[in-house]
Amino acid sequence: MSKLIAITGGVEDVAIAPGVIPCSVLNMAFIELCNSHGAEAIVIPPQALNINFSNISFDRLIISGGGDINPIRYGQEVDIKSERILDERDNTELNLLKIAENNSIKTLGICRGHQLLNVYKGGTLHQDISSNIDTNIEHMQLDESSYKHIHKINIQENTKLSTITQNQNVDVNSIHHQVINVLGENLKINALSEDGLIEGIETTSEWQALGIQWHPENLLTDELTHNLINWLLE
Output the DSSP codes for 30-73. Answer: HHHHHHHTT-EEEEE---SS----TT---SEEEE---SPPPGGG
Report percent pLDDT > 90 for the chain: 86
Mean pLDDT to the nearest integer, 92-109: 95
Helices (H) and strands (E) in the chain, counts: 6, 13
Q: Assess contact for 209 and 160: CB atoms under 8 A.
A: no
Dump strand ranges (E) for 96-178. 107-110, 125-126, 151-155, 169-172
pLDDT higher than 90, residue 79:
no
Residue spans per domain, the chain? 4-233
Tell me the C-alpha distance between 4 and 57, whole Å. 8
Contacts of 198 (CB under 8 A, 6+ apart): 179, 180, 183, 189, 191, 192, 213
pLDDT higher than 70, residue 76:
yes
pLDDT higher than 80, residue 44:
yes
Going by pLDDT thresholds of 50, 70 and 90, the confidence category of residue 233 is very high
Q: What's residue 81's pLDDT?
A: 84
Q: Count CA atoms within 13 Å of residue 85 on its CB side.
A: 15
Partner residues linked to 95 by β-bridges: none
pLDDT higher than 70, residue 172:
yes
pLDDT higher than 80, residue 55:
no
Q: What's residue 69's pLDDT?
A: 97
Q: What is the mean pLDDT of the chain?
A: 94
Tell me the C-alpha distance between 27 and 191, whole Å. 25
Question: Mind listing the pLDDT tens digit for each residue in 137-170?
Answer: 889 898 999 999 999 999 999 999 999 998 999 9
Tell me the C-alpha distance between 20 and 118, whole Å. 34
Give the least confident one: 47-56, 104-113, 126-135, 153-162. 47-56
- The residues annotated with a catalytic role in the active site are 111, 215, 217
Mean pLDDT to the nearest integer, 23-39: 96
> Strand, helix or coil at 233?
helix
pLDDT higher than 90, residue 36:
yes
Class of domain 4-233: alpha beta
